[in-house]
């Protein structure tokens, strides 16, 4: 049997490490499930999710340099994120539009991609960093230098 990306296989957990689990696959092949591919939630201790000897269903997500990368979480249904309704403050304070007596329908925001989330985090980091650097520069400019 030739392994291909996207193939779904049954395997048995052989070894668990701090960074993942090695899974025995058919035809004496072995693959690894990285800790980030174990569950849809954050996994701090992989041993809370897997045990040695456990039968698992895995998906092949990569074949690189003879190594087989596997995922368990990609076979699980993605958890639904609960979006709390947002208040619309454009109209009056009760979330109503100015021309209507009933509340304006709230459009659900489109889910953000990983790239959009990364860009937002990077922008926030850069803004905070610039602020800290400017305050440090101001402090060092106004502070008299000590003589030795």
Q: Give 96's pLDDT tier (boundaries 50, 70, 90).
A: very low
Q: What Å distances lie between residue 52 and 12, 43, 49, 112, CA to CA?
A: 8, 17, 11, 37
- Segment 45-68, tens digit of pLDDT: 999 999 999 999 999 999 988 899
- Segment 117-142, tens digit of pLDDT: 888 888 888 888 888 787 777 766 66
CA torsion sign, 39 to 68 to 60 to 23? negative
Against a cut of 0.75, is the pTM above it?
no
d(CA 110, CA 82): 13
């Amino acid at each position: 049997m030739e392994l291909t990306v996207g193939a779904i296989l049954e395997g048995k957990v052989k070894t668990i490490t701090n960074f993942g689990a090695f899974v025995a696959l058919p035809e004496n092949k072995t693959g690894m499930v990285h800790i980030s591919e174990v569950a849809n939630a954050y996994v701090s201790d992989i041993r809370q999710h897997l045990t040695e000897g456990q039968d698992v269903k895995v998906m092949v997500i990569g074949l690189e340099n003879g190594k087989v990368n596997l995922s368990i979480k990609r076979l699980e249904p993605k958890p639904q994120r609960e979006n709390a309704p947002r208040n619309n403050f454009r109209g009056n304070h009760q979330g109503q539009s100015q021309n209507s007596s009933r509340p304006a329908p709230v459009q659900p925001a489109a889910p953000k991609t990983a790239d959009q989330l990364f860009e937002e985090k990077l922008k926030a980091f850069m803004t905070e960093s610039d602020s800290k650097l400017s305050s440090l520069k101001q402090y060092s400019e106004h502070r008299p230098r000590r003589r030795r």
